[in-house]
Amino acid sequence: MKTSIANLQDFAALDPFFRIIEQGLEGLVDPGHFFDLMAEDVVTEYVITVPGYPPRIEGRQALAELYRPYGSAIRLDRCFDLAVYHDPAKDVAVLEYASEGHTVDGHRPYANKFISVITLRDRQIVHWRDYLNPVAVFNALGWPES
């Protein structure tokens, strides 16, 4: 039995992201909230990301805690342009999608594109590799100092 993720309302800023992932994996995983799709021991890797973000997270609870403060910086308005590729022999799905939103401070626009490579087992996500455009994050939140 999976441990529950407390205070799902803390993740409201990510709702469009959660919904597009749930849509993209429909029929490949058991239905539920984004975090319910994850195996307890899911491994998440951020291959192309931003400085200071961990390159690897292990476990469903750790992933939730990483995402919990997201809404203090950015709120997503929508995710769209979903493309799904599934290799049933390897039980791997590749999702391409885009997001739009705004920063909480200053309401600067935020737009990004993602590729997520997701390995499934027993109708759950066991491994997730994520690729994003870090320039889009810097344009919204500010560039790191050199």
Domain-located, residue 1: no
d(CA 108, CA 87): 38
Domain-located, residue 146: no
Query: Is 1 a residue whose pLDDT tops 80?
Result: no
Domain-located, residue 49: yes
Q: Quick one: average pLDDT of 91-111?
A: 95
Distances (CA, A) of 70 to 58, 75, 78, 89: 18, 8, 15, 35
d(CA 113, CA 145): 24
Q: Quick one: average pLDDT of 131-137?
A: 93
Segment among 17-21, 24-28, 48-52 with least mean pLDDT: 48-52
Domain-located, residue 107: yes
Domain-located, residue 20: yes
Range of the domain at 79: 8-141
26 CB-contact burial (10 Å; exposed 0-12 / middle 13-18 / buried 19+) = exposed
- State the CATH number of the domain containing residue 48: 3.10.450.50
d(CA 119, CA 66): 20
- Claim: this prediction has a pTM higher than 0.85: yes
Domain-located, residue 14: yes
Per the structure, the count of domains in the chain is 1
Domain-located, residue 111: yes
Query: Is 133 a residue whose pLDDT tops 80?
Result: yes
